[in-house]
Structure formats: structure tokens, C-alpha cells
Structure 1
């Protein structure tokens, strides 16, 4: 049975309070009161082999308990991959979220920005309530990014041109998705209804899913609502070169400048990906206080490219680290993801670009701001939230000869989820010895898989339709139809 406890204190062999900036201290006792760190007190005696760091944050995800490979959404370019997501069986919303959040916790994650993908848009309130319960039961912080779209339901650009490119047998199904656009006023009211499910570990954010899928008028309405009530906004932006090409055609003066003119850019906004941001656009985001989620594994798996982190650093753009539900090994290992970001962006040859200190700040502080806002978290110091990751440092250093080896280097070289001793969120133990103790993840996951298999066998996916859709997508974008070229 799941067992969790709130702690009065934890004793650790060392504390790495400022990775990349200072040496580890310890042994020490971290005292906890009302979910926050009350004091950090040195202890005598030998080090115990454990090390505490501020727990990292998953700045962008989709919370799929059933991973995409399971239902045949095989990694591909994003535009060709999106149609395969329809193969996901309809699943219990609570189990779907609880399995995802528990898996994240076991990967060291204390908070996540959950960009929700509805299974049934007519039941979005029920799904939101289920995700809220899952967040409470697992115990990590969750921001529920409530999705909204009202344009380009099939592709970026001219929907009729795409229909002409599609297999005739597929057209009736596609035409059914070209109904009247959704009303942003109804969406804004629905978000306020969702706010009834907020609690200490769960908040609601606006989520205009992406600039290519949301009209300017709706983006402006969401920006205005956010300015009035202070609610945060989370969205995708410029993830692929096709989105960049569409945006340059649709907005010759610049898509990011357009978003700024309608009031969307502010410290309340976080964006996912930003792979095709220009240096000038990165500078504008920095000036407005926008936070970017860098999703390295996902951008590799979905063939999107590599985010311009050097530009973010040069401009002072805040950025966090996100898994996007597509981690490198499908295991939600945030420690490995941080290492992947480090290896991709520290600089090649003798060029120094990303520092270890900036990486950890992004993963613990800036990513946290995107999910929770400014709450003093992402550090181990009196007054900060007691969101702490305790690692088996001795297991990482059994062969390390130098007693004064830099622990930041050790973590960036070796730390993975197998080294997690405890994840503590708000002073409560969520993971102990690598296992989520607040919910029974293996049992929930077994139930989820069983449900998925029954659904799959009862209504098998239409493989022919999926293949036809992918062909049509490749033809449309391959012709450049998304930026005004003719169909070939």
C-alpha cells in the first residue's frame, strides 16, 4: 500500500545548494516546517554518502500515462506524427494522469506544466477534475494548461488545398473537422469553472495551444484576461521549420512581434520549444520576461531541431527544461535530460556557452516559475519550499579518487533516476528508494495497460486512414503549401 510521510527534518551527507557556483556543504540537517525549509544546520560526524539538491521541474509535458510508442505513434517529424496521436485508446483520465505524474516523480521531478490533451473535449471539465485529483494523490505540483484552438484544424495554411492533396476516401473524415470555430469567450468561462479544482498542488493556466492553431483575436482575448486576473499562459511556439515558414508567410513583420503587439508577451507567459526563434526574437522574449521550455529529447525524437540556447543565454532569456512526454528513453529521467541539455549546449571545441550554474538555475528556478510562479523555490535555503531531491552520491563516486572532486561535475556525468533516494515535495516524501510511495504506480499502470488493450481490441485503429493522413501531410508541406506555394 502507498505510504507517505511529512518530515520534520532530513539529515544528509552533503548539500549542493548552488550547483556550478559553490562547493557542497555538510553533513547537515534540513529542518522543515509547514512545507518550507526552516533551517539548515551543520552536523558533526562523517558524511553519509547522500547529497541533497533542489528538485528539478519539468517545464513542459503532456502527462500521457500510456506512452506514445505503446499505441503506435512512432517518432517522426511533428507534422506527420500528430495524426498518429489519434490512435491512443480512450482511457480513464485519473489513471492516465496519476501514472504519468508518478513516473515523473520517480524521475526526480517535483513539478510539471501539464499541457493537457483532451480525450473528449465535451468532457474537459471532468478530465480536469480527474487530473486535479491525480496531482493531489501523487503530490507533485501540477499546472493544468487548459487547451484552446480555433483555426488550422488540419494543417497550417489553406485547409482546402490540403483536402485536395488528401486521398478521396479520407476527405469526409477530414471535412468533419472543419466545423465552426470555437468561441474564445466560452473558453475563458470554462477556465474559470476549472479553477474550482485548484488546490495547493494544482493550478490552472490558459493554453492557446500554438500561434498556428489560435486566431489573433482569440490570442488577444486570452492575453487581456491574463492581464486582468494574473493567470499564467502556456503555449507552443516555433517548434518546427514548417511552423517558422508558415509564420513568416502569415506575419511578414514577425510572429513574435505580433504576439507582443496583442499583449501576449509578459512574465506570465511560458512557451514550449522555441527551436526556430531568431536572436532578435529571443531578445524580445527576454525583455518581456517570457520563459522558454527547452525540450531537447522531444526535439530529437520528433525531428524538430536544436533550440538556440546560445541566443537565450546571450539575450538573458529565461529557460527551463521540459520532457514534453517524449524523454530520450521513455523513462521521465530528468537528471539524464539535464545532462543531454548540458552536452548539447555547453559549447563545442573550446567555446564555453552554457554553464553548469545556468543549467541548474533553468531546471530548478526558471522552470519552476513557469509552473508555479515566483514562490522562492528552486533552492535549498531557509524560507524556500521544501522541494528536495536526495541522491545516493556514494554510488556515483565509488571509483572517484579525489576527495575534493567537484560534485556538479559528478552529477552532470553520472546522475540518473537510479540514484534517487528520496523526492520530497512540500516536506512530504513522494519517492523513497526510487519508488513513488504516495500511489501504487505499478498497479495503476497495469490497470491502465489492461484498459488500453481492451479498448484497442474492441475498436482497432484504422491503420489505412492513419497512413493516408501521413502521406497527405507530407505532400502538403513538401510542396510548400503552408507558405503559399501551389500543390504539386
Structure 2
């Protein structure tokens, strides 16, 4: 097999009973019945009636048939790793404990790791991913090699990627200065903890000189239609104002977007109040960080004033429903964001409810999660969720108006689904196809995934990378004995977790009315 990105995109016609093109300003799905899409040189050249397009292009290969459902490619706008934390030995825990527990994880070769989740992405119709590379020790000069391996995996598979290497420069253990927290530990733990933290310190200037510039030289300036470079200071708690301001400067200098985890947990909300005397969003607005080039991941604990600031700035929110449920982070007020006109994208984060990357299921979860009791209660519509997973996702990861809708001139990213299987044995014909998609589509219904005009997944298998051989290579790599350094990290994690838990004792949980009233007592 050869890498998808290095093979030419032959002309194809994609045919379907229903073509769902996108969602209009009135939240209505624009659709074509019994239509076809002509793709040439990786772009959509024409959309129209099947008979007309076929008659004008009799020799072009046809994908799909008169029974297919065709939709724009789905976008996972917040993703980190391939092998899930459960696979690597960490159960679901609150975020503040979970990150330290993961120190014990075995190292997975980054190329193989990206492919593991990539297979799951294309199988569920995902054509573009925001990959937020995990924080790594110094030297920073080693980071481009790891990033390059991840990007190589996506290109070989044919999957579109917006890549950002997460970084941080403070509060690496708890939401407090590292030295203050380390000094509070029993003496026997202090030196071990300092030794662990030491390689994670780097100068901010090194990030630009040793990571950013080499990456721009290699992947920047839209040299590859499948690749975008972004920036990702990990969150407000672990990023100093100096790092945030530098990130804004780099974004302007290099024409990049920024993805920032924001107000993910109740403890992060409280930390912002303690550190700034105001919310994290209010502080970001004050230092000029917000803007239409910024995507805020999670946004679980935002108030009405925060939402006004987010809306005024033009930021996107990336909603990570599965992650928030698994880590007990809460339910983001997505209906409130939507009501205020704030664009919302969807991300699966470390893993979805099935411990995989299934965007079809994630859309269904979002549909049902944001339903509250009451005859007059407002719920998200299938069309709104469809937009989140397509067009807004494209904007949220830097692909703007290149993908996310089916329209002439856009890149040819789309998914062909088995409509008869989805509707078997009977589905009322009057049911809108987008409702059938949101409520009934499963990965088993994905017949083909097309990215940049190339068929990258078809009839249950990726087309350009050998999945069985890759997974065998992963199994072989993971069967190797744990190195002493990894065992030591796990032991240190076990020793520190009780003190990390104790640090948050007494931190108040937010009070006041909830955005959603789900039950009572």
C-alpha cells in the first residue's frame, strides 16, 4: 500500500439518493435528491442531478448508488492520542487526578499511535482531525520529529489534520506554583518530584526557534492541503500570561489558529477566580487573547458574561461531551451557546463513550444529552448538530470554508452511507434524512470515506494503510517489557496522588442556578 497523500486523486462521481449539502442560516439542511457530485483534482467540480452528471462524464468511476446517503466529511475538533488511557492503564478519573495517573502509560510509537485512532476516525466518517499533541519533556528540538511522525501517519492514511503541540510553563502538578507545592510534600518525595519536573521546563523562546520555525518550514504556508499547523497552550491553569501573549504573537506572525482548553472543570473555574478575581474568559478578553482564530475546548463552566465575551470575540467552542461525562467534568451549556449565536464544534477528546473515536455516536450523544424536562424545553435539532460536526468543525480547526459543506470549489471530503441499512426494516419516508443520520447511523453503515477526492476507507477497510499489520506492530511494541523509567514514573504517580487530591480539599463547588435543570430532590 502507498500513502494516500502521495497518490493522485482520480476523478470520481459520488452518487446518492440523498445528498446533504450543509445547513443554511435558518438551521435548515440543504439537500439534493437523486443527485451526484463530480470530483476533479481533489475538489468538488459540480453538484446536480445524477442523470445529467453521468451523461456528461460517462467514463468516470462512480462511488455510491441510488440508495446511498452522502454527507460532508465529519470533523473531530479535539483529539489527543490513539491508544486510549484505559488501554494504557488509567481509569476515568477527575481531570486533576487523571493527568498524573497517566504518567504510568507505556510509550507508543507516535506513528503507530496516530494510525490506531485514525482507523477509527475514517470508519465513522471523520475526514479532518484537530490533533493536540501531548505535552512532552524537553528538549524542544525533539518535538518536531515526533510531530512529523504523527502528521506522516495522517498523510499515509489520507486523513486531514490540524496539528498543534500542547505546551505549558507552570502549575504542572496542581493549580499552584510547582515549587510551592513540592515544598509542601514530605521530604522523601521532594527530590523525586523535582527530578521528574526538571525536564519539563523550557524557555518560551525555544518553542519558537526549536519547534515552531522548523515545523513552519516543513508544513506551513498550506504546502499540503491535508495539513494545517496550530498552536495550543494547554489551558489557563498551566499557561502563564507570558505564554498566552507569546502564543497570540506567534499566531499573528505565522497565520495560525489557537486551541485552548478552557473552564473544563469546577476546579478550573475556582482557580480563575482565585488567580484573577474574575473568570478565565474575562481575563483572556482583558489581555487581548480572544478572537475568531481561537477555539476554546470544553467551556463547561462559563457564565452569561463569559458567553457575551465569547460571542463578541468570534471564538468557537469545541464541545467534548463524552470526555466531560467520563471525567465527571459536567455538561457544557451548549444550548445556551447556540442560542447566543456562538459557533459550536464537536470533539471526542481522548475517547468516546465506547472508548473509541466514533463521531456518529458522538453526534447522537450530543442530541440526547442536551434535552431537559418540560413540554416547552428547547432541544438541539439534528440540523444544528449536523452543522457542529461538519461546517463549524472545519472552521474550528483552521480549514475554514475549504471543507464542511458540499459545494463546488470546496475540497472533496464526504461520506457515503448505506441508507437502506440505516432505515431497515422500515423508516417513515417523511422523516428528514438528517434526523435518520443523527438517530440511526452507525459505523457499520459507512460504505466509503472520501478525503480530498481520494477514497481512503471503503467497505470496512482503510485503502492506503494495512490495518491488520499496523495493529500487529502496535501489539508487538506494547508487549516489550516496561522500562525502569516508566515503572518509576508510575510509582511516583501513586505516591503523589493522595497529596494532589488533598490539595483540592475545601475548594468550593460553584453555587447558583444551573444552566440545565435535569432532576431534583
- The partner residue of 1:414 within 434, 440, 447 is 440
Matched, 1:427 2:468: no
Superposition deviation, residue 181 in structure 1: 4.6
SS at match of 2:33: coil
- The partner residue of 1:117 within 134, 137, 152 is 134
Superposition deviation, residue 31 in structure 1: 0.2
- The partner residue of 1:467 within 494, 509, 521 is 494
Matched, 1:451 2:471: no
Distance 2:422 2:480 in 1: 42
Distance 1:396 1:140, change over 3 A: same
Matched, 1:184 2:210: no
Q: 1:18-67 CA distances to partner (integer Å, 9 max, x unpaired)? A: 466247432222101121111112135997321001111001010x2222
Structure 2 unaligned regions, length at least 5 = 55-63, 511-521
Matched, 1:325 2:345: no
Distance 1:402 1:373 in 2: 36
Which is further off, 308-317 or 399-408?
399-408
Distance 1:449 1:387, change over 3 A: same
Distance 1:245 1:12 in 2: 51
Q: 1:106-130 CA distances to partner (integer Å, 9 max, x unpaired)? A: 1211111111015554321110111
**Is contact 1:230–1:268 with CA below 8 Å preserved after alignment?**
no
Distance 1:434 1:282 in 2: 42
Match of 2:69 in 1: 51
Distance 1:401 1:253 in 2: 51
Match of 1:16 in 2: 20
Matched, 1:34 2:41: yes
RMSD: 2.5
Q: 1:313-361 CA distances to partner (integer Å, 9 max, x unpaired)? A: 1221111000002211012110100110111124443312422222111
Distance 1:10 1:481 in 2: 55
SS at match of 1:211: coil
Match of 1:262 in 2: 287
SS at match of 1:396: helix
TM-score (norm 1): 0.92
SS at match of 2:206: helix
Superposition deviation, residue 200 in structure 1: 2.3
Distance 1:29 1:450 in 2: 44
Matched, 1:229 2:236: no
- The partner residue of 1:92 within 109, 116, 124 is 109
Distance 1:56 1:73 in 2: 28
Structure 1 unaligned regions, length at least 5 = 484-488
Map 1:11-410 onto structure 2 (within 5 A).
11-18=15-22, 21-22=28-29, 24-43=31-50, 48-62=66-80, 64-118=81-135, 121-122=138-139, 123-160=142-179, 162-163=181-182, 166=185, 168-179=187-198, 181-189=201-209, 190-198=211-219, 199-350=224-375, 351-410=377-436
Which is further off, 346-355 or 368-377?
346-355
**Is contact 1:283–1:316 with CA below 8 Å preserved after alignment?**
no
SS at match of 1:91: coil
Which is further off, 343-352 or 8-17?
343-352
User: In the comparison of the two structures, how many residue pairs are matched?
Assistant: 482
Distance 1:2 1:349, change over 3 A: farther
Q: 1:452-474 CA distances to partner (integer Å, 9 max, x unpaired)? A: 12043776635543332221211
